[in-house]
Amino acid sequence: MYNNQGPYYHFGRNRLLPPAVKNLIYANVVIWAVMFFSSLTGSGFNNFILDQFALSRYGVLGQFKIWQLVTYMFIHDPTGILHILFNLLFLWMFGVELENEWGTREFLKYYFITGIGAGILNILFTAAPTIGASGAIYGIMLAYAMRYPDRYVYLYFLFPVKMKYFIGFLFLVAFFSTLGSYGGGIAHAAHLGGIVIGWIYLKYWYLFYRAKSRFSNFKKPSIKPTMKFRQGGKKDDDKTEYYRRVIDELLDKINRVGYLNLTEEEKKLLEEGSNYLREHDKEKYN
């Protein structure tokens, strides 16, 4: 892999697996292994798992098994290893760096939002049962392409292609396959959903963030009889005003270009300012 900042980039280099990626890999492997060994015994366990936890239009809309929108992401074809192997390989390749940058909570939120969104789009286009984490994985690849558009990935392990073109290629394949008649046992609608929902989330999530920030500025905490006023005087007040001004400027920039186009310093400043103002409010009104 080539990093647009100079040296060749190697996925996962000098990097331990962060919690979300590690636990997602563990959960998927354990479930696949259980189903694999169950298929060898010839018991009906796998049929029960697929009936209850694989994603299907009838299951969600007809039987109200809403949990299938989440559980289908943890089930892979137990008769072969390629399905789960490629999904977890891409999760590791593209997810590790994103989780390290975003944090575990934000990464998991994005993973499940794209996976659930992919599942919803999938049941709109097909009634066939669907399993696999591919929808969420496509969302992860989209996020990586938006964050590192000029890094290279090897298409079919042979041809170097920049991530922005690679994700564009995947989008076109998923789009035309969803609208066309070529399924081949592949959930193209879920792939398309992961990309589309991921793009919408990454482009417009700041609207909720900004509204929440504005609301919190007007929300007045209840004053307790034993309230202790924070000491510190003008210096602390100036720092509070500084962080409020900086956060407003950064939110305006997010409004224009999106969160992913903030510099690393701006992201750090946004987090630092938010933490300071949160702690400031706790100290002031406790």
Give the pLDDT band (50/70/90) at residue 261: low
* pLDDT average, residue stretch 142-162: 87
The answer to whether residue 9 scores a pLDDT higher than 50 is no
DSSP string across the chain: -B-TTSSB--TTTT-PPPHHHHHHHHHHHHHHHHHHHHHHHT-SHHHHHHHHHSB-HIIIIIS--TTHHHHGGG---TT-SHHHHHHHHHHHHHHHHHHHHH-HHHHHHHHHHHHHHHHHHHHHH--S-B-SSHHHHHHHHHHHHHHSTT-EEEETTTEEEEHHHHHHHHHHHHHHHHHSS--TT--HHHHHHHHHHHHHHHHHHHHHHHHHHHHHHHPPPPPPTT--PPP-THHHHHHHHHHHHHHHHHHHHHHHH-GGGS-HHHHHHHHHHHHHHHHHHHHHH-
CATH dotted code for 19-200: 1.20.1540.10
Where exactly are the structural domains of the chain?
A: 19-200, 220-285
The answer to whether residue 165 scores a pLDDT higher than 50 is yes
pLDDT tens digit sequence for 11-34: 544 357 899 999 999 999 999 999
- Angle separating helix axes 264-285 and 234-257, nearest 10 degrees: 140
Cβ contact 285:227 at 8 Å: yes
pLDDT tens digit sequence for 48-70: 999 999 999 999 999 999 999 99
Q: What is the pLDDT of residue 220?
A: 38
Q: Which residues does 97 contact at the CB level (< 8 Å), separation at least 6?
A: 15, 144
Both tokens of 45, joined, read 């366990």
Residue 282 vs residues 154, 171, 209, 222, 252: alpha-carbon distances, Å? 50, 46, 20, 12, 26
The answer to whether residue 39 scores a pLDDT higher than 80 is yes
Q: What is the pLDDT of residue 13?
A: 46
pLDDT tens digit sequence for 185-239: 788 999 999 999 999 998 877 555 555 555 554 443 433 333 333 334 445 667 8
What is the pTM for the complete model shown? Answer: 0.71
Q: What is the pLDDT of residue 242?
A: 85
Q: What is the pLDDT of residue 236?
A: 62
